[in-house]
């Protein structure tokens, strides 16, 4: 009797803030024991901002667990060290005791995404001066978090709503790399996720070949403590247990190389998909990123405008979106403001240049 083979899942590529790769080692220290869950919440929110826009701004624990591969029971356990109590507020402490809220493992991770200021790097380009600018900001990922309790019953349904920061929204459309959402759970369980993010970030930069001279950094992304006394074992461990296993998920090769420095080791990575990379693909990627950014700003306005408490009803939203009699000047203003932010241009210039684009954007015939 033949054994049925489960078909491979189709890749679900989403854009993630480059900081989730480049700054992840720093973020481990910020989020501490909740780091893995915080990273997965960022991935989940990023996915909703692009592919599941009608879920954006709301989190149902069951849906999060299904999407990201968690056991709901584990996330509902009481947090051992609630980050909220670090504020040492008597008023907050009393509220926590009365409500018994904001203390589960899941809520604690959500809270940390808003509580802690995180270093985030963003990139911008001025086509007139042909100058790239890298800016480091210290921002929140979540600006506001609400817990909605259906009743006073001990078994009452609980849901969450949130608002992301403008800086986080911007980076999803201008400072990003691509990753496969369907691989996150499996890679997390194999302790390969941060190394996967590191390599996908390089691949997303269109590098066909890339030399990494920082051996220690690669070890840390791989979750390996380098041993100077037994460097051969460290190299073998990194190559056989980490890098080689990632070939199942990324089309790449690696070759150890000698470099200058304390450890004298590095790696030359080859990303085969980038050998004949067509630059025209960038235009489609940026066009999609632009549209997603505008859609995100519009859904945020819609949530505020109509004080939506539950899930956004798709039909009602689409009726409002395409209706030229409902908030049309405001909708166009949101579009022009978003494009002005993305292209670093005055809004009046954007309005003149993208007038026809706005007409098409809010036209059913173009959707």
pLDDT in tens, 232-254: 899 999 999 999 999 999 999 99
Predicted confidence at residue 158, as pLDDT, reads 84
What does the alpha-carbon distance between residue 276 and residue 288 come to, in Å, rounded to a whole number? 22
Q: Which of 291, 312, 175, 199 minimizes the C-alpha distance to 254?
A: 199
365: tokens are 């015939």
Predicted confidence at residue 101, as pLDDT, reads 53
Q: Is the pLDDT of residue 155 over 80?
A: no
Q: What is the mean pLDDT of residues 250-271?
A: 90
Q: Would you tell me how many other CB atoms lie within 10 Å of the CB of residue 130?
A: 7
Q: Which of 52, 287, 281 minimizes the C-alpha distance to 173?
A: 287
Q: In 3-state terms, what secondary structure has residue 59?
A: strand
pLDDT > 70 fraction of the chain, expressed in percent and rounded: 90
Residue 336, phi then psi, degrees to nearest 5: -65, -40
Neighbouring residues of 335: CB distance < 8 A, sequence distance ≥ 6: 294, 297, 298, 354, 357, 358, 361
Residue 318, phi then psi, degrees to nearest 5: -65, -35
Q: What is the mean pLDDT of residues 86-98?
A: 50
pLDDT in tens, 163-220: 999 999 999 999 999 999 999 999 999 999 999 999 999 999 999 999 999 999 999 9
Q: What is the DSSP letter of 5?
A: P
Q: Is the pLDDT of residue 62 over 90?
A: yes
Predicted confidence at residue 140, as pLDDT, reads 84
Decide: 198 and 221 in contact? Cβ < 8 Å: yes
pLDDT in tens, 128-143: 788 888 888 787 899 9
Decide: 53 and 293 in contact? Cβ < 8 Å: no
Q: Is the pLDDT of residue 80 over 90?
A: no
Q: What is the mean pLDDT of residues 81-103?
A: 57
75: tokens are 């996330």
- pLDDT range class, residue 99, cuts 50, 70, 90: low
Average pLDDT, the chain: 88
Q: Is the pLDDT of residue 127 over 80?
A: no
> β-strand 142-149 against 176-180: which pairing, if any?
unpaired
What does the alpha-carbon distance between residue 80 and residue 196 come to, in Å, rounded to a whole number? 29
DSSP track, 132-200: EEEEEEEE-SEEEEEEEESSSSTT--EEEEEEE-HHHHHHHHHSEEEEEGGGHHHHHHTT-HHHHHHHH
280 vs 296 pLDDT, higher one: 296
Q: Which range has the worst mean pLDDT, 7-11, 47-51, 294-298?
A: 7-11
Q: What is the mean pLDDT of residues 20-43?
A: 92
Q: Is the pLDDT of residue 86 over 80?
A: no
Distances (CA, A) of 185 to 24, 43, 71, 232, 244: 17, 11, 12, 31, 19
Q: Is the pLDDT of residue 98 over 50?
A: no
- The sign of the CA dihedral 358, 361, 362, 363 is positive
Decide: 79 and 107 in contact? Cβ < 8 Å: yes
pLDDT > 90 fraction of the chain, expressed in percent and rounded: 66
- pLDDT range class, residue 5, cuts 50, 70, 90: very low
Decide: 332 and 89 in contact? Cβ < 8 Å: no
Predicted confidence at residue 93, as pLDDT, reads 47
What number of CA atoms fall less than 13 Å from residue 297's CA on the CB side? Answer: 24
Q: What is the mean pLDDT of residues 108-116?
A: 89
Q: In 3-state terms, what secondary structure has residue 318?
A: helix
pLDDT in tens, 314-360: 999 999 999 999 999 999 999 999 999 999 999 999 999 999 999 99
What number of CA atoms fall less than 13 Å from residue 70's CA on the CB side? Answer: 22
Q: Is the pLDDT of residue 262 over 80?
A: no
What does the alpha-carbon distance between residue 146 and residue 310 come to, in Å, rounded to a whole number? 12
Predicted confidence at residue 1, as pLDDT, reads 33
């Amino acid at each position: 009797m033949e054994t049925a083979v489960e078909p491979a899942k189709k890749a679900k590529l989403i854009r993630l803030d480059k900081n989730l790769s480049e700054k992840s080692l720093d973020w481990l220290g910020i989020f501490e024991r909740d780091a893995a869950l915080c990273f997965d919440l960022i991935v989940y929110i990023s996915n909703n901002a692009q592919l599941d826009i009608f879920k954006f701004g709301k989190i149902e624990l069951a849906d999060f667990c299904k999407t990201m591969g968690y056991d709901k029971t584990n996330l509902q356990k009481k947090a051992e060290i609630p980050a909220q109590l670090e504020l040492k507020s008597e008023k907050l402490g009393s509220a926590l005791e009365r409500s018994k809220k904001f203390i589960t493992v899941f809520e604690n991770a959500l809270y940390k995404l808003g509580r802690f200021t995180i270093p985030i790097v963003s990139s911008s380009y001025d086509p007139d001066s042909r100058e790239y600018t890298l800016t480091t900001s210290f921002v929140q990922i979540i600006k506001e978090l609400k817990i909605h309790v259906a009743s006073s019953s001990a078994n009452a349904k609980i849901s969450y709503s949130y608002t992301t920061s403008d800086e986080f929204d911007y980076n999803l459309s201008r400072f990003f790399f691509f990753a496969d959402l369907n691989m996150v759970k499996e890679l997390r369980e194999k302790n390969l996720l941060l190394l996967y993010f590191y390599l996908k970030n390089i691949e997303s930069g269109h590098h066909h070949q890339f030399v990494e001279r920082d051996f220690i950094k690669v070890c840390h992304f791989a979750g390996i403590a380098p041993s100077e006394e037994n460097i051969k074992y460290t190299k073998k461990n990194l190559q056989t247990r980490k890098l080689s296993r990632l070939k199942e998920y990324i089309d790449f090769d690696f070759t150890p190389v000698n470099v200058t420095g304390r450890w004298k080791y590095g790696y030359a990575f080859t990303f085969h998909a980038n050998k004949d990379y067509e630059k025209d693909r960038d235009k489609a990627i940026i066009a999609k990123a632009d549209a997603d950014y505008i859609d995100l700003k519009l859904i945020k306005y819609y949530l505020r405008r109509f004080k939506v408490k539950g899930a956004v009803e798709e039909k009602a939203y689409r009726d409002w979106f395409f209706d030229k009699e409902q908030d049309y000047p405001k909708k166009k203003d949101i579009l022009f403001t978003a494009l002005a932010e993305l292209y670093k241009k005055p809004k009046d210039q954007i309005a003149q240049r993208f007038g026809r684009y706005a007409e098409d954007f809010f036209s059913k015939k173009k959707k």
